[in-house]
C-alpha cells in the first residue's frame, strides 16, 4: 500500500508529500479496509452457512429478506443492536464487559498478517506466521473471562471446555505448521506463499518446473499429512462440529455465551465467524498456495513492485484481483467443507476429543516433522551439511527419493498409529465397562 | 522522533508497573491473574520497542497463551474461586513491603543509575543496524547453544511428565458421578445397612464435573 | 530507542518489576499468588537480558537466547508448580500457604 501511494502521490501527481504522512495515510487506509472487510466476511459467512446447511437438510434456509434472503444477516445485525443488554446481577461487571472485547480484538489483529493477493499484505512481518498463532491464542483468555464473569455454571463449564480444547489442539496445529516452516525455511507467510509456485511440484524443490502457481504443499506427502492434521485442529480451534462441545446447546445451553445478550453476544458471534474465516484462509495459504494460481505471477511480474518500479499500474490491479479471487475461492471452499462436516457428523464427547488430539494427532504430526526433515535433507542438503548419499544426484532423482521416502514414512506411521489408537480405545472401553459392572 | 519513543517507553513502563502492582495487591485472585496477563502484554510491547520482535511474539504465545491460561485453570480448579473476603496477604506483609522497597530504593536503583555503563555509541538515526533475528536465533540453537537447547528440551519433557504425575489422581480414588437413579439406589442401600456410613469425601466440584465427562 | 531511552531507565524499570514480584511472592497467602509473583520476577530478569542484548551486542544472539531459555524454564515451572498446587489442594483442601503447616500427610 505504501509503495502504491508513494508512487501515486509523489510520482504521478508530483505533490512531494513527506514520508510520514504517506505512511500514516496508507496505515489508515489499510486499517479501514480490514475493519470493513472482517465484519462483511462474517455477515456473508452466516448467510452462506445457513443456506448450505439448509440445502443439506433438505430445507431452503433464509429466503424472505431480499432476493434469496441475501439481507438476512443485516436484519439479524439490526436485531442484535436493538436487543436489551442484560448483565446478570451476580456477574463481575468489568470482566463481563471486557470479555467480548478480548475475544474480538485478537481475531481482528490476525488480519494484519494475512496476504490477500500479491503485494497485498497489510503488515509484512518476518515472523508473521508465529504472530498469527500467538495472537489467536489470546482469545482463550477472553473465553475464560466470559465463562468466569458470568457466574453461571454452564458458562464456566463451556469456557473450561473451550479453553482445554483450544490449548490442546494448538499443539498439533503448530506442529503441523513447523513441518511447512522447516521446508520453506522462513516464518513469513509471504515466503511460504511464494514457495508454492510451480505445477504440482514447487519450483523451489525442483527448479525448471513451469510456474502456474500450483506447486502447493498439499501435493507432497509432508504437506498432505500436515494439511489433514491442521484442518482437524482448525475445526477444534474454531469450535466447529464435530468439535463444538464448548457450546453444545443440548448439554450446556450456549456455553460461555449463555449470559450474554444484545451486541455483546453479537461480538462473540462475530469473533467466531471471523476466526473461522481466518482459519480457512490460513489453511488455504499454507497448503493451497493462498493467492497462487494460474496467471497471477505472470501478471504480477509486470506490475509496479519494489523490484520493478517502472511496471504498469494496471497489472497491479489485475494481479491483485485475480489473486484475491483465487484466495477467496479457496477460503470459501474450506468453509464449505466445515459446513459439510457440520451436516455430516455428530458431536464428539470431551474425552474422545482429548484422546484424539493427544494420542493420535500429536504423534502423527511429530512423525510428519521427521518426514519434513528428511524432505529437506534430500532436496536441499549437500556434502557441506553431511548428506553424502545424494551427492551427484540430479534434482529430479533427489525430489523423487524425498517423495518416496516421506510417503513411506507417513503411510507407515499412519497405519501403525491407527492400530495403536484403536487398540487403546478398545482397552479403555473394556476397563470402563468392568468398573461400571463392579459398581452396579 | 526521539520524543515519540520516550513517550511510548513511559506509557509502557507505567502500564507494566501499575499492572504488576495490581497483581500483588488485588484481593480477587482472578483479577490478579488478569492483571498479570496485562503485565505480560506490557513486557511484550517493551520487547517490541527493544526490537526483539521474535521474543515479543514468543512472550505473547507462551505467557499470554499458555502460562496465564494455566494459572486461570488452576485458580478455577482450586475452589475458593474469587477469594473475596479471604485475607490475601500474610501477617508479615508490611515487613516484606519494607524489604522490597528498601531493596529497590537503596540497592538496585542507585547502583543501576550511578553505574557507568560503557554502552557502545548508537549509530545515527537512519543507518541500518545489524540485529539478530529469528534466523540467527535458530542457527544459534543448533550450533553454539546446542547442548543448552537439548537440556531445555529434556527439562520440558520432564516437567510435562512430572506435572501429569503430580496432578494425577488414581482411578480408584476419583468419585464416580452417578445418575439420579443410581444415587437414589445408593441412598436407599445406605439407609438400610447403617446410618453411620460416612458420606464420600467432598472434594472440589469443578474437577469432578470435568472429570465426569471423561469417566463415562 | 537507543538514543532516546538510556539503558539505566530500562534497567530501573526491570528492578522495580522485580521488587514488586518479590513482594508478591513473599507476602501472598495464596499459592497461586506466590507463583504469579515468581512469574513477575522472571519477566523482570528477561527485560534485563533483552535490554543488555539490545544496547551492547545487538548483532549477536546470546541475550535473546538466554531470554528464550528463561521463558521455557518459566513455562516448565508454571506447569509443575500449578500441578503441585492442585495436588496440595486435593490433599489439604486449601491453597493458603500458611495453612499448609503439617509435615506428615
Interface confidence (ipTM) of the complex: 0.87
Nearest CA in chain A to B64: A138
DSSP-H helix ranges across A196-248? 221-237
pLDDT of residue B154: 92
Lowest-pLDDT range of A58-72, A290-304, B76-90, B190-204: B190-204
Q: Is A433 on the interface with B (CB under 8 A)?
A: no
Q: Residue A132 above 70 pLDDT?
A: yes
Shortest Cα distance from A137 to chain B (angstroms)?
Answer: 5
pLDDT of residue B205: 46
Q: Residue A290 above 60 pLDDT?
A: yes
Q: Provide the 10 A C-beta neighbour count for residue A287.
A: 26
Residues of C in contact with B93 (CB under 8 A): 23, 27
Contact A141 B64 (CB under 8 A): yes
Tell me if A102 sits within 8 A of A141, measured CB to CB. yes
Nearest by CB to C4, from B5, B89, B100: name it: B5
Q: Is A171 on the interface with B (CB under 8 A)?
A: no
Confidence of residue B16 (pLDDT cuts 50, 70, 90): very high
| Closest-CA residue to A161 (of A275, A264, A247) | A247
Shortest Cα distance from A148 to chain B (angstroms)?
Answer: 8
| Average pLDDT in chain A | 82
Residues of C in contact with B87 (CB under 8 A): 29
Query: Which residue segments constitute the domains of chain B, with CATH numbers given?
Result: 1-86 (1.20.120.1200), 172-196+203-216 (no CATH)
Contact A163 B69 (CB under 8 A): yes
Looking at per-residue confidence, does B154 or B92 come out higher?
B154
Lowest-pLDDT range of A79-88, A231-240, A320-329, B25-34: A79-88
Do chain A and chain C touch with ≥3 beta carbon pairs under 8 Å?
no
Q: Which chains touch A (3 or more CB pairs under 8 A)?
A: B
Nearest by CB to A140, from B53, B58, B69: name it: B69
Looking at per-residue confidence, does B155 or B52 come out higher?
B155
| Closest-CA residue to B75 (of A91, C35, A150, A256) | C35
pLDDT of residue B214: 43
**CB-hemisphere CA count at 13 Å for A345?**
16
Q: What is the dihedral of CA A237, A242, A246, A250, to 10 degrees?
A: 160
Instruction: Mutation target for B interface from A94, A102, A140: give the one with most B CBs within 10 A.
Output: A140
pLDDT of residue B69: 86
pLDDT of residue A53: 87
Contact B83 C15 (CB under 8 A): no
Residues of B in contact with C74 (CB under 8 A): 62-63, 67
Contact C43 B43 (CB under 8 A): yes
DSSP-H helix ranges across chain B? 2-25, 29-49, 53-59, 68-77, 93-102, 109-114, 134-142, 146-167, 180-193, 205-215
Contact C71 B9 (CB under 8 A): no
Q: Residue A154 above 50 pLDDT?
A: yes
Residues of C in contact with B9 (CB under 8 A): 1, 4-5, 9-10
Shortest Cα distance from C51 to chain B (angstroms)?
Answer: 7
Shortest Cα distance from B187 to chain C (angstroms)?
Answer: 25
Nearest CA in chain C to B174: C90
pLDDT of residue A230: 92
Which of left, alpha, beta for A16 (phi over 0: left; psi -120 to 50: alpha)? left
Q: Provide the 10 A C-beta neighbour count for residue B191.
A: 10
What is the distance between the alpha carbons of residues B119 and C6, in angstroms, rounded to a whole number?
9
| Closest-CA residue to B163 (of B94, B86, B67) | B67
**CB-hemisphere CA count at 13 Å for A361?**
26
Phi first, then psi: what are they for C96, rounded to 5°? Answer: -80, 125
Nearest CA in chain B to C74: B67
Q: Render the burial of A25-40: b for 16+ CB within 10 Å, e for the rest.
A: ebeeebeeebeeebee
Residues of A in contact with B57 (CB under 8 A): 127, 130-131, 134
Contact B58 C3 (CB under 8 A): no
**Span A391-412, average pLDDT:** 84
pLDDT of residue A4: 67
Shortest Cα distance from B129 to chain A (angstroms)?
Answer: 16
Q: For the segment B133-180, what is each residue's pLDDT rounded down to a tens digit?
A: 788 888 888 888 889 889 999 999 999 888 888 877 665 555 555 556
Measure Cα distances from A437 to A432, B123, B171, C96 in Å: 9, 76, 15, 40
Contact C37 B24 (CB under 8 A): yes
Strands annotated E in A154-251:
198-199, 201-202
Contact A163 B209 (CB under 8 A): no
pLDDT of residue B3: 82
Lowest-pLDDT range of A42-51, A77-86, A137-146, A269-278: A77-86
Q: For the segment A212-256, what is each residue's pLDDT rounded down to a tens digit?
A: 777 788 888 888 899 999 999 988 888 777 877 777 666 777 777
Shortest Cα distance from C94 to chain B (angstroms)?
Answer: 8
Query: To which residue does cell 529437506 refer?
Result: A376
Tell me if C29 sits within 8 A of B89, measured CB to CB. yes
Q: What percent of chain A has pLDDT over 70?
A: 93
Instruction: Mutation target for C interface from B9, B55, B65, B147: give the one with most C CBs within 10 A.
Output: B55
Q: Residue B209 above 60 pLDDT?
A: no
Phi first, then psi: what are they for A188, rounded to 5°? Answer: -85, 130
Nearest CA in chain B to C51: B50
Q: Is A135 on the interface with B (CB under 8 A)?
A: yes
Residues of B in contact with C2 (CB under 8 A): 119, 122
Residues of C in contact with B160 (CB under 8 A): 79
Q: Which fold has domain C7-93?
A: Helix Hairpins (1.10.287)
Confidence of residue B203 (pLDDT cuts 50, 70, 90): very low
Nearest CA in chain A to B41: A138
Contact A350 B64 (CB under 8 A): no
Residues of C in contact with B163 (CB under 8 A): 79-80, 82-83
Chain length of chain A: 440
Q: Residue B200 above 60 pLDDT?
A: no
**Span A277-281, average pLDDT:** 90
Chain length of chain B: 216
Q: What percent of chain A has pLDDT over 90?
A: 3
pLDDT of residue A365: 92
Q: Residue A190 above 80 pLDDT?
A: yes
Q: Is C2 on the interface with B (CB under 8 A)?
A: yes
**Span A195-216, average pLDDT:** 76
| Closest-CA residue to A272 (of A227, A242, A235, A230) | A235
Q: Return the top range by mean pLDDT from B91-100, B102-111, C65-74.
A: C65-74
Contact A95 B30 (CB under 8 A): yes
Instruction: Mutation target for B interface from A106, A132, A138: give the one with most B CBs within 10 A.
Output: A138
- Extract the C-alpha cell encoding C37: 509473583
Instruction: Mutation target for C interface from B3, B16, B88, B146: give the one with most C CBs within 10 A.
Output: B16
pLDDT of residue B213: 43
Lowest-pLDDT range of A42-56, A126-140, A170-184, B70-84: B70-84
Contact A440 B216 (CB under 8 A): no
Confidence of residue B208 (pLDDT cuts 50, 70, 90): very low
Shortest Cα distance from C66 to chain B (angstroms)?
Answer: 10
**Span C27-46, average pLDDT:** 88
Residues of B in contact with A126 (CB under 8 A): 53, 133-134
Residues of C in contact with B134 (CB under 8 A): none
Looking at per-residue confidence, does B171 or B90 come out higher?
B90
| Average pLDDT in chain C | 83
Between positions 53 and 72 of C, the ones with CB within 8 A of B are: 53-56, 58-61, 64-65, 67-69, 71-72
Residues of C in contact with B62 (CB under 8 A): 71, 74-75
Amino acid at each position: 500500500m505504501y509503495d502504491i501511494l508513494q508512487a501515486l502521490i509523489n510520482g504521478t501527481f508530483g505533490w512531494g508529500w513527506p514520508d510520514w504522512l504517506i505512511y500514516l495515510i496508507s496505515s489508515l487506509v489499510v486499517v479501514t479496509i480490514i475493519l470493513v472487510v472482517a465484519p462483511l466476511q462474517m455477515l456473508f459467512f452466516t448467510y452462506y452457512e445457513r443456506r448450505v446447511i439448509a440445502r443439506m437438510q433438505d430445507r431452503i434456509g433464509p429466503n424472505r429478506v431480499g432476493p434469496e434472503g441475501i439481507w438476512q444477516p443485516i436484519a439479524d445485525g439490526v436485531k442484535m443492536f436493538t436487543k436489551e443488554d442484560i448483565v446478570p446481577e451476580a456477574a463481575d461487571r468489568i470482566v463481563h464487559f471486557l470479555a467480548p472485547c478480548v475475544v474480538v480484538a485478537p481475531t481482528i489483529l490476525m488480519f494484519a498478517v494475512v496476504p490477500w493477493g500479491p503485494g497485498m499484505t497489510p503488515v509484512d512481518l518476518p515472523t508473521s506466521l508465529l504472530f498469527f498463532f500467538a495472537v489467536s491464542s489470546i482469545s482463550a483468555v477472553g473465553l475464560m473471562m466470559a465463562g468466569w464473569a458470568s457466574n453461571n455454571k454452564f458458562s464456566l463449564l463451556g469456557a473450561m471446555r473451550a479453553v482445554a480444547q483450544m490449548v490442546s489442539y494448538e499443539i498439533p496445529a503448530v506442529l503441523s505448521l513447523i513441518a511447512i516452516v522447516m521446508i520453506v525455511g522462513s516464518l513469513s507467510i509471504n515466503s511460504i506463499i511464494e514457495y508454492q509456485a510451480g505445477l504440482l511440484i514447487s519450483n523451489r524443490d525442483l527448479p525448471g518446473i513451469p510456474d502456474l502457481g500450483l506447486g502447493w504443499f498439499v501435493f507432497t506427502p509432508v504437506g498432505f499429512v500436515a494439511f489433514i492434521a491442521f484442518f482437524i485442529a482448525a475445526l477444534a480451534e474454531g469450535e466447529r462440529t464435530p468439535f463444538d462441545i464448548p457450546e453444545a446447546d443440548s448439554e450446556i445451553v450456549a456455553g460461555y455465551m449463555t449470559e450474554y445478550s444484545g451486541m455483546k453476544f453479537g461480538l462473540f458471534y462475530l469473533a467466531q465467524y471471523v476466526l473461522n474465516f481466518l482459519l480457512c484462509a490460513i489453511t488455504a495459504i499454507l497448503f493451497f498456495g493462498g493467492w497462487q494460481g494460474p496467471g497471477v505471477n505472470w501478471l504480477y511480474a509486470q506490475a509496479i513492485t519494489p523490484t520493478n518500479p517502472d511496471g504498469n499500474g494496471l497489472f497491479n490491479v489485475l494481479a491483485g484481483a485475480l489473486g484475491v479471487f483465487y484466495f477467496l475461492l479457496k477460503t470459501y471452499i474450506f468453509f464449505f467443507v466445515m459446513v459439510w462436516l457440520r451436516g455430516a457428523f455428530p458431536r464428539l464427547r470431551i474425552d474422545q476429543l482429548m484422546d484424539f488430539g493427544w494420542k493420535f494427532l500429536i504423534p502423527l504430526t511429530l512423525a510428519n516433522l521427521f518426514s519434513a526433515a528428511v524432505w529437506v535433507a534430500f532436496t536441499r542438503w549437500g556434502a557441506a551439511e553431511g548428506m553424502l548419499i545424494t551427492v551427484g544426484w540430479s534434482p529430479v532423482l533427489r525430489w523423487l527419493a524425498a517423495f518416496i521416502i516421506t510417503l513411506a514414512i507417513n503411510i507407515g506411521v499412519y497405519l501403525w498409529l491407527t492400530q495403536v489408537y484403536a487398540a487403546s480405545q478398545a482397552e479403555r472401553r473394556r476397563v470402563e465397562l468392568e468398573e461400571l459392572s463392579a459398581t452396579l | 522522533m526521539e520524543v515519540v519513543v520516550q513517550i511510548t517507553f513511559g506509557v509502557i513502563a507505567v502500564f507494566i508497573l501499575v499492572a504488576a502492582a495490581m497483581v500483588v495487591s488485588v484481593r480477587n485472585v482472578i483479577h490478579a491473574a488478569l492483571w498479570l496477563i496485562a503485565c505480560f502484554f506490557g513486557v511484550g510491547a517493551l520487547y517490541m520497542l527493544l526490537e526483539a520482535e521474535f521474543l515479543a511474539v514468543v512472550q505473547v504465545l507462551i505467557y499470554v497463551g499458555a502460562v496465564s491460561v494455566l494459572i486461570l485453570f488452576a485458580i478455577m480448579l482450586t475452589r475458593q474461586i474469587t477469594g473475596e473476603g479471604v485475607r490475601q496477604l500474610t501477617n508479615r506483609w508490611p515487613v516484606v513491603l519494607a524489604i522490597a522497597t528498601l531493596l529497590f530504593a537503596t540497592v538496585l536503583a542507585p547502583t543501576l543509575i550511578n553505574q557507568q555503563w560503557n554502552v557502545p555509541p548508537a549509530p545515527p538515526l537512519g543507518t541500518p543496524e545489524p540485529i539478530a533475528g529469528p534466523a540467527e536465533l535458530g542457527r544459534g540453537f543448533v550450533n553454539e547453544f546446542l547442548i543448552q537447547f537439548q537440556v531445555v528440551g529434556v527439562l520440558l519433557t520432564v516437567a510435562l511428565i512430572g506435572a501429569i504425575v503430580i496432578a494425577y489422581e488414581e482411578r480408584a480414588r476419583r468419585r464416580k458421578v452417578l445418575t439420579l437413579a443410581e444415587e437414589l439406589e445408593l441412598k436407599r442401600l445406605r439407609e438400610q445397612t447403617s446410618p453411620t456410613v460416612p458420606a464420600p469425601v467432598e472434594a472440589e466440584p469443578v474437577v469432578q464435573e470435568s472429570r465426569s465427562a471423561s469417566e463415562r | 530507542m537507543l538514543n532516546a531511552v538510556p539503558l539505566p531507565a530500562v534497567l530501573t524499570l526491570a528492578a522495580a518489576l522485580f521488587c514488586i514480584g518479590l513482594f508478591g511472592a513473599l507476602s501472598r497467602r495464596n499459592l497461586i499468588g506466590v507463583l504469579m509473583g515468581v512469574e513477575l520476577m522472571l519477566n523482570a530478569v528477561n527485560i534485563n537480558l533483552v535490554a543488555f542484548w539490545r544496547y551492547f551486542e545487538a548483532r549477536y544472539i546470546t541475550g535473546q537466547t538466554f531470554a528464550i531459555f528463561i521463558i521455557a524454564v518459566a513455562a516448565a515451572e508454571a506447569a509443575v508448580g500449578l500441578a503441585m498446587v492442585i495436588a496440595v489442594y486435593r490433599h489439604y483442601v486449601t491453597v493458603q500457604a500458611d495453612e499448609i503447616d503439617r509435615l506428615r500427610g
